[in-house]
């Protein structure tokens, strides 16, 4: 009797489990099918709205790199000269990234402290500062840069301001996520001895969050090096600007382009490695 009911309840459980699995599988299968359809449809739409087709272009992907490499190899004697010639432009690109990271991190720090519960001096204004960060983050750098180029003329300053504003929004959000988990006891201790808001933040909060903040700022610096190269391409100075000049000169001066590609590649890899090394060190302490 007991055996029978146990067996039937086991059967029911198994049937229920299988039904659930089937349903789950059906749902995930449906999602997957929808996803695949969306990918294929999207790809066809994009292909239809482009000048060249995907299959027509595919064999040509390596034509340009090949001719770039051949021409650069034929004129390889010029390469060291070009590397030296464009080094100042590279320094400008790195400077744009560094200054905008510094200024953006400063502004982001301020915004994050102003928008963290428990730390903000004006708690009622927290949503306002959050929205400001959202909006700063949503502005693509290129928009601000192009508007500022119209007003200030070409050069590194528009790019710097554009990247700094975006960085302030992006870092502000990451910073405030960190500072929300901050231990409030040191802050209260400082308040009890009569410290002002700035003193509480500088002495009570910053030492706790500095490693995380620095790690985020380093990551942002790495992103900003890329961004400042791209903005140079639309007229904001630095190595990107030189690259565009080299690319649009007649059919393109491939040896110059190759030199700039090499500089850009090495720079990006260099800062990528440096930043990930120090980030590891900051987050995991000094142990190897």
Select the span of 2-10, 72-80, 145-153, 185-193 touching another protein (CB under 8 A): 145-153
Q: By C-beta, is 114 or 230 nearer to another protein?
A: 230
Segment interacting with another protein, rule: CB under 8 A, options 14-22, 115-123, 153-161, 174-182: 153-161
Evaluated on CA atoms 281, 283, 286, 288, the torsion sign reads negative
Nearest to 149 by CA among 243, 264, 232: 232
Q: Let me know if 220 is exposed, middle or buried by CB neighbors in 10 A (0-12, 13-18, 19+).
A: buried
49 in contact with another protein (CB under 8 A) = yes
In 3-state terms, the chain is what percent helix, strand and coil (to 5)? Answer: 85, 0, 15
Question: Per CB under 8 A, does 69 bind another protein?
Answer: no
Q: Is 142 in the site for another protein (CB under 8 A)?
A: yes
The set of residues, in sequence order, having a beta carbon less than 8 Å from that of 104 and lying 6+ positions away, is 163, 164, 165, 166, 167, 168, 170, 171, 220, 224
Q: Is 162 exposed, middle or buried (0-12, 13-18, 19+ CB in 10 A)?
A: buried
Binding mask 206-225 for another protein (x = CB under 8 A): --------------------
Q: Can you tell me which of 32, 39, 128, 184 binds another protein, judged by CB under 8 A?
A: 39
- Measured CA distances, 165 to 100, 105, 106, 114 (Å): 8, 10, 11, 17
The answer to whether 209 and 175 have CB atoms below 8 angstroms apart is: yes
Task: Tell me the closest approach of the beta carbon of residue 62 to another protein, in angstroms.
Answer: 8
Please report how close the Cβ of residue 121 comes to another protein at its closest, in angstroms: 22
Examine residue 177 and tell whether it contacts another protein (CB under 8 A).
no
The Cα–Cα gap between 43 and 153 comes to 38
If binding is defined by CB under 8 A, does position 58 make contact with another protein?
yes
Write down the least CB distance from residue 52 to another protein, Å. 4
86 lines the binding site for another protein (CB under 8 A): no
Residue 54 near another protein by CB under 8 A:
yes
Q: Which stretch binds another protein (CB under 8 A): 10-18, 78-86, 107-115, 266-274?
A: 266-274
The answer to whether 151 contacts another protein (rule: CB under 8 A) is yes
Provide the minimum distance between the beta carbon of 3 and another protein in the complex, in angstroms, as a whole number: 27
Number of shown-chain residues binding another protein (CB under 8 A): 59
Beta strand ranges found along the chain (DSSP E): none
**Max CA separation in the chain (angstroms):** 94
- Which parts of this chain interact with another protein (CB under 8 A)? 35, 38-39, 42-43, 45-47, 49-54, 57-58, 60-61, 63-65, 92, 95, 98-99, 102, 134-135, 137-143, 146-147, 150-153, 155-157, 160, 226, 229-230, 233-234, 240, 243, 247, 261, 264-265, 268-269, 272
């Amino acid at each position: 009797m007991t055996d029978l009911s146990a067996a039937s309840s086991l059967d029911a459980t198994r049937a229920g489990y299988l039904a659930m699995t089937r349903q789950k599988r059906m749902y995930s299968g449906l999602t997957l099918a929808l996803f695949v359809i969306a990918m294929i449809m999207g790809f066809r739409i994009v292909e239809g709205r482009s000048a060249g087709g995907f299959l027509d272009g595919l064999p040509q992907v390596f034509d340009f790199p090949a001719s770039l490499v051949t021409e650069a190899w034929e004129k390889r004697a010029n390469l060291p000269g070009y590397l030296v010639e464009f080094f100042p432009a590279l320094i400008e690109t790195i400077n744009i990234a560094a200054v905008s990271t510094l200024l953006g991190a400063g502004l982001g720090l301020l915004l994050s402290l102003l928008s963290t519960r428990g730390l903000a001096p004006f708690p009622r204004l927290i949503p306002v500062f959050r929205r400001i960060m959202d909006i700063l983050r949503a502005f693509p750098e290129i928009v601000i840069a192009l508007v500022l180029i119209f007003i200030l003329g070409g050069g590194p300053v528009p790019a710097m301001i554009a990247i700094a504003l975006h960085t302030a929004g992006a870092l502000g959000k990451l910073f405030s996520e960190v500072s929300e988990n901050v231990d409030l006891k040191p802050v209260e201790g400082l308040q009890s001895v009569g410290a002002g808001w700035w003193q509480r933040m500088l002495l009570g909060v910053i030492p706790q969050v500095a490693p995380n903040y620095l790690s985020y700022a380093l990551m942002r610096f790495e992103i900003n090096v890329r961004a400042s190269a791209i903005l140079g391409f639309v007229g904001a100075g630095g190595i990107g600007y030189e690259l565009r000049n080299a690319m649009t000169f007649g059919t393109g001066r491939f040896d110059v382009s190759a030199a700039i590609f090499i500089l850009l590649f090495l720079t990006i890899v260099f800062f990528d490695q440096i930043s990930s090394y120090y980030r590891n060190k900051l987050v995991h302490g000094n142990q190897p």
